[in-house]
Amino acid sequence: MKKIILSLLLMSCTYLSAQKPQAQRILDKIDQNISSRNRVLTSKMVIHGRRADRTIESRTWAVGDKKSFTEYLAPAREKGTKMLKLKNKLWIYTPSTDRIIQISGHMLRQSVMGSDLSYEDLMDDQTLRDTYNAVVTGTDSTGGRSCWVLELTASKKKTAYFLRKMWVDKERYVPLKEDLFAKSGKLLKRLTLSDVVYLKGRWFPMKMVFKDILKAGKGTEFIIDKIKFNTEIPKIRFTKAELRR
């Protein structure tokens, strides 16, 4: 009888293990959806402040997680502002002062134009597999979708968030919600992702809402209007000379 019970327990454990995918495999599938060789996109940030909302429109060219160039298109006050990222360095050009300044160190944690996104958030486009170790902690649902719940711990020193809790759509392998923590375990930001569409063989969220827990206001919507993956971008785009053009 004991042997039968033991066999049943072993079979149960094997079944549950088979139903629960490896966390690193899930990260691979997320990276296949979210990451790309390069991309060109137009987007807008809707910043919900305590008193009023602001909308900022931009166009971005990016190559992997090493290079990106953003030009702000509207409103008039922000038009012509440009940002260039090369590896871990960031430069900003503002037409009102006709100056190029470099953002580095603790300044990267500052808010971008009063939004809930930091410069680190905009610069961080590393693949999850290369940046985090993960474990599957259970299942849950969000936005009407069944999800795997993952806990991610940074495997590299230079990451914007040391700990992340992520709800990943079981069917489409896209994160739908994230809690972002400091190394101390303090919750810093909450992120929700929605408007998931199927583009060129990948599932991709076209809308992200960032909420800085330490900041007043109702959060910032980052909405992608158009995006093209793996399209050719001239190398000159990622030069300082382009900041003043």
- Look up the CATH number of the domain holding residue 127: 2.50.20.10
> Residue 147's domain spans which residues?
23-244
**32-189-162 Cα angle (round to 5):** 65
As given in the structure block, the two tokens for residue 128 are 């999850």
Lowest mean pLDDT among 2-16, 85-99, 211-225, 226-240: 2-16
DSSP string, 173-240: --EEEEEEE-TTS-EEEEEEEEEEEEETTEEEEEEEEEEETTS-SSEEEEEEEEEEES----GGGGSG
Q: Is residue 12 part of a domain?
A: no
| Rounded CA separation 203/29 (Å) | 10
Q: What pLDDT is recorded for position 1? A: 53
Flag whether 31 is in a domain.
Answer: yes
How many structural domains comprise the chain? 1
Q: Answer whether residue 74 is part of any domain.
A: yes
Whether 51 is covered by a domain: the verdict is yes
Write the secondary structure of 36-81 as one string of H (helix), E (strand) and C (coil).
Answer: CCEEEEEEEEEEECCCCEEEEEEEEEEECCCEEEEEEEECCCCCCC
pLDDT at 8 over 90: no
pTM (predicted TM-score):
0.87
User: In this structure, is residue 157 part of a structural domain?
Assistant: yes
Residue 16 lies in a domain: no
Q: What is the per-residue pLDDT across 202-212, written as a single tens digit (0 to 9) for each? A: 999 999 999 99
The CA distances from residue 223 to 88, 128, 139, 165, 235, in Å, are 25, 22, 28, 22, 26
Any domain includes 136: yes
Q: What mean pLDDT value characterizes the chain?
A: 90
